[in-house]
Structure formats: structure tokens, C-alpha cells
Structure 1
């Protein structure tokens, strides 16, 4: 053997991967079957039926609530009704946060109601003080220690609307880190413009956290309308408000990841995994976040596994308590850490019911031909191919970090953050046609991945690059 080729082969042997991986490509017959499946999905009502059932029979599903337990039972029964041949659960234990009541008002000469909602993780309490407005998170973080003593900090940053949802990065940072910064500066309370893009006078909730050693203070999100109003009042002069929150942590709770499988006929230990989170916030009924993800995953798996029993196992994970910190995802990823090479691909839907417009992800070079075939199948749906772009969402991002190949679908999020974490997160906001297109896209990828000869590269991929802070 030529010395260079010998060196390559030895290096590959040491790394545990083949020097020349065979191309992974679907046969013409498989591509034809996938096209038929795609077209069938565009007429299928399974996804809508699943979504309607979940949001009607269970409704809001705050992690740790009575409805959380009902959602687990619902998911087990739904998997069985859809024909999944194996259904099982994983216990997931986490701190239990409860919301009981919330109230806000402007005091003094301009007294009036403020529409607000407690942020997840906030302690309860009633605070009253003058408002100090900040036009950026950095401005608050630069406030001197003690400078906000007895005050209520108000971060007034508008979250931009975007098709790819990138504005949420801005809004969520204000939500997750602002209260710690306020507390460090001596504030007794914290309010913020919401991480949302609507003007419906609906506040957007969501999780927040306090840094270790920082005193927790009551924290709430205003509606955009009330943030506008509070900003105008502050411009008029000193403005005093009262925020009264009855909420907080109350022990621990054990929920469940609910997992359904369609067992593969020839490679049952190799897994094509779809995921979504079963919990929701408590203001709406969790239709868009993440009922549509549950519907997409269940329906796509049923369709992909229904043409004929797939070579590989198709698995759907309905994750527990994503909203408060990927709790179910961490339990699942830990259970799979020694099985990454058996993970053919992972994918997750947790960015709403907007129509899929891009397909990308992460896989081996040898799998490019198969993924290009998937992309060709998705062209009639109006889905662009962006290989190498996009990450597995939410819980499945943990699996990607561990070395799994991942599929990434970009959903149109132009309107998503009008509804996200608000009372408006209800079934009527979902477009049934968009939902069918989304299911068709996920089902097509799942079908090819479950049946194609050859690996997509899990266990051989370099660690994903993390963005610089």
C-alpha cells in the first residue's frame, strides 16, 4: 500500500472510522416511495387530530401541575392508538414552580392597572417602588451596586420580528439575566418589556434564573402595550408601581418522558428519533408551543413507519419540562450517551407551526447523497436546501452535542412570537395546511433515514462549534 494511503488507513483505524466511507444513498424505488409518502402526508389529518386532542383534552400543561400528569397519560394512550408497538417512560425530577396570582399597578396621580405576568422561577412577594428605566440590558448590567436600592428596574427593549426568529435571542437574554443584574444593583423588583412581538396586551411568560449568590427578587413581564405606557409615564416624571406576585418553588416533582417506537424490522437497535416537548406554559393551551411539535413528531413517525415496517426503529420522545430547563432532554441524552453510533439521526420541532422553508443539519460527508435526495423530495413543498446550516432544536440539541447526526428544519417564525408563552397560544392559531406541509417534510426525512442503507455519521462527527460569547 502507498505510504500516504497507509497513513490515512491507520489514522482512520485509530479513530474508529473507515478511511473511505461508502456513500449513503437511497435506491430509486425508495425515493419513489418517499415521494408517495410526502404526497400522502399532505392529505392526512393525523397531525391535526393529535393537536386538537392534546389541546382540548389536556389544555395547558405547566410542568409539575395536575395537567402534567394527565398529559403523560394522554401521550401513552395516543402512542398506542396510533399503532406504536412499544411505549415506555423515563422519570424526570425537577423543582416544582407554581403560579397562583399576579397583579401590577401604577400608583399615585396616574394610578392605573398594569397587565403583567410572573416569569417562571420568580419568587413571590409584593414590592412597591419608583421605576428606573433602562433602554438596554447592558445599561442595567453596568448599574453600580446599590444604585437601585428600593427601586424597581424596568428594561425596555423591543424584540424585533424575524422570519428566522433571531430576535428571540435578544428578548430571552433580557428575561433570563435581567433580574440578577437588577438584584446586584440593589433593586427590590424587576419588570421587562416581553420577549414577544405582538401588541395584543398579552404578557409573555418564560423561565428565568438567578445567578448563584444573588438574592431572588419578584420579576414579571409586561405586555408590550403596558411597557409603552410605563415608558411614557417615566418620561413624565417619577413613577411608582406595585407588583404583587403569588408564585414560587414548592418542592420537587417527578414527571415522565413518554417514548413511543415503531420497531425496525432489520436494524431495530438503530434509531431515527423525533422529539418535541409535552409540557407548556400555563397562560394558553400550548398549541403552538409545543403541541404542534408533538403533532408533527407523532404523525410524521406514524406515516413514515406505515408504508412498510422500516429497517430502523422510528422513535418519538415527548419530553418532560423543556420550558424550565430541558429537564427531560437531559435525562434522555444521558440514557443515550453510550449509544450515539446507534442514533441514525435526530430531529425536533419546537419553533411553532409556521411552514417549513429550509432544510439543513449535520451529517457525514458520505451521507450527502442521501440528504440531497431528501432535499429534492422537499422542493415541491417550497423547502430550500441549506446543508450544514441549522441545529437540532431544544432537547435534540443535546443529542447533536453528543455526536448524533441531526436534521434541522427552519419554520417561518414571523408570527410565532406574537403568540409564544401568552394566553393566545391556542388551537385556532394553527393553520392546518401549514401543519400538513411540516409533517410531510419531517416524515420524508424520517422515512429515508430509517430505510436507507448506510450510516448518516453519528459517532464519527466532530463536536459542533459553539458560538463565541
Structure 2
């Protein structure tokens, strides 16, 4: 009886002891004064218009920023000047090579059973059609895998069309499967003998905007023009094909491969007082596609990461450095990120936390880490200070970071974080002419900025240097 009673008491007390130990560990990471400073920075960032002013300036004064264009060069100069005006301790540029590409003309028509315009756009890196265009019968596939399974030679002289529908979700989980068709659809179509490739836009939109995005060829496989059609036009094609009669289309795409180009990662740093060589990395990408002004992708990320670091510097000097990296040529294949992590490959251990904002400008709804067990008390302490912003804590500890952190993930076990944004309607605008400033909500942008400021300040000042798994 005594043994059972003792077991009952122990089972009741143990969770409380564990909870108290956890809270004690978090408390030891930050002093009361440090947490008061976090609150002050959080409130200041949440009430400041700085991030809005920055994204408004970038999208208005520079506009679209396709890598290698004059606007891209203007964006680099803009970012360097803004970092300097905001008072960052260090500002510098690092070059990045990339395959330079231009879009000049794109048009399309359904020819049979009646002539109808097609709203389409060339996919990034696509080659041109002949100057007068090309025509061919459309062969519809519902998925990329179905195209891959088509018999050899079955598309001779025809145009392959994948009609894969992307699902809508808060975390944008339908994007990955859809991107497979965009990346390699033209390669698989060419293997079967197709003369051109079309796909339903990687998009959740019902509007008549076509979504561009990167596509890639494979050495030794014939290159064919690659395009995406607006979702309503994809529906129209599917209805026509379903009638059972041949559907012919005309495509005219004029683009140019300009060989190797050079752009620049633009970097601004608030230097730490105690461990200046160690730093929190806040990332976003400076370039954009040429159709819109890149407000959501990724002007908002550029603005809020710059503003978050500035708000910290306005109130305190962090113990570790906070480095804002505006990566170059992300849209054409993560070229700036590859160059950055290659350049610093022997010093990646200096990164104490890394996060990227590249998912629009809706609110941050959740916070997640990917760190070793010893770093979790710091993570929980950060999560606690994000609660007033409406941010919940995801305990899975499986964060993957944004696209520009992929090279970091592949080369080292780094402490990576996700500040998950609501992405329910992000892919309505992503990579389209409709990616413009009016889609950015200033109040939501403030919440994002405050969340990144809290994260960066606490990661920089934690007693424990965080590390990856």
C-alpha cells in the first residue's frame, strides 16, 4: 500500500518537477532586463511603419528585379544604400554568378475548334519557338508521372500539356508536387518526341494570370519551349480535349540565353559586442520575376528582415552579430545562396540561428526549430516571447527553413528556424503580374517584423550558443 502511494505521489510530482526545471533552464538563458528589452523591441517593431516604407520604396522605385537586368543592378544599389542609411555597422556586396536569361515576347492561341487567345507565360530558362511560332496538337496528362510513363515516340510533333491542379493550404504544401512538372516537364516531354511543353500554372488562383517559375533542361535531351497557362485557360483546354476531337494550339515564345551573368548578395550586419564572429542569419532574396513588382516574392521578406535588425539596433547592441543577407538570383536557381554558403563553408559553425522570410506577407502563425536538445530551452524561451504576437510553438523540431537555406542544410547541421506564415492565398499571386504592392497588408507586415526581431534578438543574446542536430 505504501509503495503504491509513493508511486502515485511520484507520478503526480514528476511532471511538475520537469516543468519547473524547464522553466528554470529558460530563465537562466535570459535575465529579467533582457526580457524587458525583448518586450520593448517587440512593441516598437509591431508599431513601426519601417518595413512598409522599405517594401514600398523597393517595389515603386525599382520594380521587377529579374537577375542581370538594369533593375537588378538598381536593386543592389538600393539595398546597399538603405543598409547604410539605416545605420548598419557593416555593409558589403559579394558576387554571384548565374545563367542570365531574358523574356521578350509570349503569345498563344487555341486554333481548333475555334481561334481563342491563351493567357500564358514562358517558364524561366525556356528556349524560343521559331520566330513565326509553332503549332501542334495538344496531348493532355493529369500528372507529371503520367507524362513520364507515356510510350517513347508517342508525342512526335505534338505539344505535351500537364493539367496538374495545385491544392490550397495554409502551409502551401501543394507547391512541391506541382513544381516537379515545372522543373522537368519539358525534359520528359522532349524524351517522348514533343515539340513544345505546356503546363497548368503552379497556382491556386482562379484569375487569368499565368505563373512563371524556373524550369531546367538536361544535357543530351533536346530543348523545347516551356510555358505555363493561366488556370482558366487550362480548364478550357481540358474541356476541349474531353470533347474527343483534336485540339491544336499555336505558341510564340521569344527568349534569350545570355550566358553567365553576375549579380550580388547584399549584406548588412549589426555587430555583436561579446561574440562578433558568431551571428544570427536573417535571409530573403532581392531578385524577383519580371511579370510583377515582386512585392510578396520577396520584397516583403527583404523589408521585414532589414527592419527587424534595425529595430534591434535602435534599442540595444546584441551580444552576437545579426546579419541580414539579401540573396541574389534565387528565382533562377538559388545562385546567390550557393555562392554565399560556398564562400563561408569553413565558417558555417559561426551561424547560431538561421531563418528566411520568403513566403509573402501574411501573418506568422507558428514558430519551429531544428536544433540539438541542449538548445531547446532557448527555443522555448523565444516561443514564449512570440506568444503575444499570436504565434504558436510547434514542438516537432523539424524546421526546414526557406529556399535560400537549402545549401546550408545540405552542407552542415545548422540551427535552422521556421517562422511559419499563413500561405492560404500566397499562390494566387506568386510569380505573376499580380504580385504587386497592394497585396501587402501593412499591419500583417508589422507582425512579421516584430516576430523576426524577437527571434533574432533572443538568438543573439542567449547564454547558450545554439547548434543544429
Q: Which residue, 160, 183, 187 being the options, matches 1:153? A: 160
CA displacement 1:28-56 (0-9 Å, x = unmatched): 22112111211111101110011000000
Matching residue of 1:414 = 424
Alignment partner of 1:27 is 2:24 = no
**Which residue does the alignment assign to 1:209?**
216
Indicate the residue corresponding to 1:181 in structure 2.
Answer: 188
Cα shift at 1:374: 0.8
Which among 288, 292, 299 is matched to residue 291 of structure 1? 299
Q: Distance in 2 between matches of 1:304 and 1:397?
A: 27
Deviation at 1:415? Answer: 0.5
Corresponding residue to 1:52 among 53, 56, 64: 56
2:132 equivalent to 1:128 = no
237-246 vs 387-396, which moves further: 387-396
Given candidates 316, 319, 324, the residue that maps to 1:311 is 319
Which of 339, 344, 348 is matched with 1:340 structurally?
348
Matches within 5 A, 1:60-459: 60-125=64-129, 126-236=133-243, 237-387=245-395, 388-401=397-410, 402-457=412-467
Following the alignment from structure 1 to structure 2, what is the Cα–Cα distance between the partners of residues 306 and 451? 16
Following superposition, the deviation at residue 277 of structure 1 comes to 0.3
Structure 2: distance between partners of 1:397 and 1:218? 28
Cα offsets for 1:123-181 (capped at 9, x unmatched): 00132100001111111100111110000001011111010100111221111121111
- 1:48 and 1:295 in contact (8 A); partners too: yes
CA contact (8 A) 2:400 2:418 kept: yes
What is the distance in 1 between the residues matched to 2:40 and 2:406?
A: 30
Distance 1:305 1:406 in 2: 23
TM-score of the superposition, structure 2-length normalised?
A: 0.91
**How far apart, in 2, do the equivalents of 1:347 and 1:232 lie?**
44
Normalised by the size of structure 1, how large is the TM-score? 0.91
Structure 2, unpaired ranges of 5+: 1-24
RMSD: 1.3
2:36, 2:398 → 1: CA distance? 26
CA contact (8 A) 1:152 1:191 kept: yes
CA apart distance, 1:249: 1.0
State the Cα deviation string for residues 232-291 of structure 1 (Å, max 9, x = none): 111221011011100131122111001011111221111111010000000000000000
Query: Is the 1:305–1:314 Cα contact (8 Å) retained in structure 2?
Result: no
Return the offset for 1:211: 2.1
Give structure 1 regions of 4+ aligned residues with deviation exceeding 4 angstroms. Answer: none
Residue 379 (structure 1) shift: 1.0
Aligned length: 438
1-structure distance, mates of 2:407, 2:444? 27
Per-residue deviation, residues 96-147 of structure 1 (Å, max 9, x unmatched): 1100000100114411110100000110013210000111111110011111
Task: Report the Cα distance in structure 1 between the residues aligned to 2:179 and 2:46, rounded to whole angstroms.
Answer: 34
Q: Distance in 2 between matches of 1:245 and 1:400?
A: 36
Q: Is the 8 A contact 1:305 1:447 kept in 2?
A: no
Query: 2:159 touches 2:195 (CA, 8 Å); kept in 1?
Result: yes
Question: What is the distance in 2 between the residues matched to 1:305 and 1:348?
Answer: 19
Q: Secondary structure of the residue that 2:458 maps to in structure 1?
A: helix
2 CA distance for matches of 1:381 and 1:116? 40
**1:204 touches 1:420 (CA, 8 Å); kept in 2?**
yes
Q: Is the 8 A contact 1:25 1:367 kept in 2?
A: no
For the residue of structure 2 that corresponds to 1:306, the secondary structure is: helix
- How far apart, CA to CA, are the structure 1 residues paired with 2:236 and 2:287? 33
1:17 — aligned with what?
A: none
Distance 1:109 1:155 in 2: 20
Which piece of structure 1 moves more, 437-446 or 23-32?
Answer: 23-32
Q: Distance in 2 between matches of 1:189 and 1:397?
A: 31
1:36 to 32, 36, 40: 40
Aligned to 1:3: none
